[in-house]
Amino acid sequence: MPSSDRANPSRRAVFAVCLLAAVSGACASVQPWQRARLADPCMTFEANAALTAYASHWQESREGSSGGAGVQGGGCACK
Amino acid sequence: MKQKFRLLIFVLAALRLAAPPAFAAEKASRPSPAPDFSLKDAAGQVHTLAEFKGRVLVVDFWASWCGPCKTSFPALDALQEEFQGEGLQVLAINVDENAKDAHAFLAGRTPSLTVLFDSKGKSPLDFKVEGMPSSFLIDREGNLRFQHMGFNAKSKAEFRQQISLLLKEGSPHAQQ
Amino acid sequence: MPANSGSRSRLPFRLGLTAGALATGALFAMVFAPTFGRKSESEDINIFFHGFQDSRGVTVLSPTVDLTKDFTDRTSLKAKFGVDAISASSDSCARCHPDGIRSARAVASATLNRKYGDTTVGIGGEFSQENFYRATTLSTSVSRNLNKGNTTIAGGYAFSLNQPVLHPSEFTERQYAHDAYASVTQTLTKTTVVQVGVEVAQIRGYQTSPFLRAALNGVLVPGNSPDLRNRYTFSARIKQALPASTYLDIDYRRYHDSWQLDSNSFGIGLSRHFGDTIVASGAVRLYDQTGAYFYAPSYTGSPLYYTGDFRLFPFNSDLVTGRVVYTPKDGLFGMRPGSALTLQYERYWTTRSFDAAIFTGGITIPFGRKAP
């Protein structure tokens, strides 16, 4: 492993995300009519968005780190 | 070598993002025979595609957990009542894996449309269902003609227009 | 590099005025929004009230209103208004205001999303104003559903201009932040969804808190932080549906920045449905961070950088959350079916001997014309 990787862990993270994006199609696919549990609001990452936004706000003003909340997707394939 | 591999992964990821949509068309472009099915209704009676030949069919795939289905189910039921006399048959195929959920949804309803049950999910696979709810309009000859995915404010008007069109085609009155 | 010295009016935010504006906005949204809507699953208004109280004697009351509105089947708007009303004083304020001081922050944001087939494109802006700080953000985002909804790829970029006032002087400084993120959400099985994301941000400009003082040669002085900070975040989440209407949520976040501040955040939560009307949740979050490389409890000599900012100190924190969401079948207090009441209580402990209790109560009201 090149030393530049150790110096910059984010590179490995970017690589991991790209890898997942590239191979995502190869995953065994769940059919639209099999999403009974996945359609539950508890399975979406945006559930309780108002609470999540508030938590990020107060945590970022009291802790030294931030980020990771700007992501979305998942849930019910209902159109 | 490692750099090239990384570049390849990056390009693959970009390609996946830019890939053309898997499904976009609302209409079946060319008439093709609808897939056959053999499914039971609530009373246990088996129904197949062949027995509806000569009628215009709406085959709708729905599930109790699907949000838009709560709107599409009563809307399709109303269309069944409206066009019953002219030869329309709506088949609402329930795809809940747990039949209990379907019965909870149907409790207190007395639909005019026919509910069929496919907890194994064979018929949606044959119809290549891409999202919930999905509906297929089949003409009197048994050909797939129109396809709907999702259900919104405009959907019912589109259904009505397409159903009217198919009902006029080769109707018993027109032939004589 | 003090810029625009004294050019900015002080804008002393009056709490009553801000709360009045908020209430008017909410009323406007509630009265007019339902009249030009289309039926959608997601159209709703969230009216929340947050109360934050910590062991330093700071109380922050924050009402927020969030609105999601569909204009067409493809275009939707998210708008948000919020206020932080800060009463009592923190240590840094108490130095000059021993009897306490009031402060307020107002935030407004709007995001317009438009669908093109499986792709959703968003553009938005946010503006926040408080005593001695103003932030303006413009953001863009794109997300795409693939594999029959089993995969979602998302990315975004935001630019912020932040303008701190060097209270008690009137100098206004500037800070520029660029923030980019990308994520992949993948459905693995009928009961499992995972999401991984990366976020990279660069902040240039003045980054020292004007209020927090460092001990330099035995004297308390405003700190001096570097003008450049690069921040890297990696996050991973998994949602797992369990038997008995129960859902497990695990998340991990790794953070590193060019000030050599590293942090880990690990969270685990369970949610369970009780009948058709109640969802109860409990969660725990464990957090640790190192200090920035120029952090020291006190400084001697003439160091280039020094800080009294507690956010740059090494510490750990624990957060425990309990929440109940009640969605009565016939609607809440005679409102439409789907309206819900949310109650949440949190306790936060840190190894900096700083604890907090946070309460949230709110209602969610769906709206929109029913499909014909």
| DSSP string for B46-101 | EEESGGGTTSEEEEEEE-TT-TTHHHHHHHHHHHHHHHGGGTEEEEEEE--SSHHH
Least confident of A50-54, B1-5, B130-134: B1-5
Task: Record the tokens describing residue C355, joined without a space.
Answer: 């604890």
Taking the alpha carbons of B141, B145, B149, B151 in that order, is the dihedral positive or negative?
negative
Task: State which residue of chain C sits closest to B19, comparing Cα positions.
Answer: C146
CA angle, corner B53, sides to B52 and B58, nearest 5? 55
Contact C117 B24 (CB under 8 A): yes
> Does the pLDDT at position B171 exceed 70?
no
Poorest-pLDDT segment among B38-52, B122-136, C32-46, C197-211:
C32-46
Residue A17, pLDDT > 80, answer no
The order of strands in the sheet holding B27-33 is B27-33, B143-149, B134-138, B56-62, B88-94, B114-117, B38-41, B46-48
Q: B107-145 burial, b if ≥16 CB within 10 A, otherwise e?
A: eeeebebbbbbbeebebbeebebbbbbbbbbbbbebebb
> Is B69 one of the annotated active-site residues of the chain?
yes
Chain A residue numbers with beta carbons less than 8 Å from the beta carbon of B68 are 78-79
d(CA B69, CA A33): 12
Residues of chain C in contact with residue A4, where contact means CB-CB under 8 angstroms, are none
Residues 81-140 of C with CB under 8 A from A: none
Interface check C50 vs A, CB under 8 A: yes
Supply the mean pLDDT for chain C: 85
The tens digit of pLDDT for each residue in C131-141 reads 888 999 999 99
Least confident of B22-31, B76-85, B147-156: B22-31
**Quick check: pTM over 0.95?**
no
* DSSP H/E element including C42: none
* pLDDT at residue A9, as a whole number: 55
The per-residue pLDDT for A46 is 81
Check CB contact of C244 with chain B, cutoff 8 Å.
Answer: no
pLDDT surpasses 80 at A36 = yes
pLDDT at C263: 97
Nearest to B153 among C41, C144, C371 (CB): C371
Interface of C with B in 126-185 (CB under 8 A): 144, 146-149, 153
Which pLDDT belongs to residue A70? 55
CB contact under 8 A, C371 and B71: yes
Q: How far apart are CA B98 and CA B103, in angstroms?
A: 9
Nearest to A77 among B16, B125, B132 (CB): B132
The answer to whether B163 is a known catalytic residue is no
Q: What pLDDT does C96 receive? A: 72
Nearest CA in chain B to A26: B16
C292 part of contact set with chain A, CB < 8 Å: yes
Q: Do A32 and B2 make contact, defined as CB atoms within 8 angstroms?
A: no
Among C186, C195, C247, select the one facing A42 at the smallest CB separation.
C247
Q: Report d(CA C183, CA C152) in Å as an integer.
A: 8
B132-156 average pLDDT score: 92
| A76 pLDDT more than 80 | no
- Chain B interface with C: residues with Cβ < 8 Å: 13, 16-17, 19, 21-22, 24, 67-68, 71, 75, 130-131, 151-157
Closest partner residue to A33 among B6, B68, B129, by Cβ? B129
Catalytic residue among B34, B57, B59, B66: B66
C117 touches B: beta carbon within 8 Å? yes
Q: Which residues pair with B33 in a beta bridge?
A: B143
Are the beta carbons of C82 and C64 closer than 8 angstroms?
A: yes
pLDDT surpasses 80 at B12:
no
pLDDT of residue C73: 78
Which chain A residues are Cβ-neighbours of C342 within 8 angstroms? 48, 51
- Say if the Cβ atoms of A68 and C358 lie within 8 Å: no
Mutate to test the interface with A, among B1, B7, B10 (most CBs of A within 10 A): B10
Q: How far is C9 from chain A (nearest CA, A)?
A: 25
Closest by CA position to B74, among listed B174, B156, B158: B156
Q: Which residue has the tokens 């039949």?
A: B99
Q: Name the catalytic one among B39, B56, B69, B166.
A: B69
Taking the C-alpha atoms of residue B173 and residue B40, their distance in angstroms, rounded to an integer, is 32
Among candidate residues A71, A77, A29, the one with its CA nearest the CA of residue B134: A77
Inspect the interface and report whether the beta carbons of A25 and C146 lie closer than 8 Å: yes
* Tens-level pLDDT at each residue, chain C (372 residues): 333 333 333 333 344 444 455 455 544 444 443 333 333 446 899 999 999 998 877 888 999 999 999 888 789 999 999 998 887 666 666 667 777 777 888 999 999 999 998 899 999 999 999 888 899 999 999 999 988 889 999 999 999 999 988 877 888 899 999 999 999 999 999 999 999 999 999 999 999 887 888 999 999 998 999 999 999 999 999 999 999 999 999 999 999 999 999 999 999 999 999 998 999 999 999 999 999 999 999 999 999 999 999 899 999 999 999 999 999 988 888 888 889 999 999 999 999 878 999 999 999 999 875 433
Locus of tokens 């099915």? B37
ipTM: 0.83
User: Residue B160 carries which side chain, given as an amino acid letter?
Assistant: R
Residue B103 dihedral angles phi and psi, to the nearest 5°: -65, -35
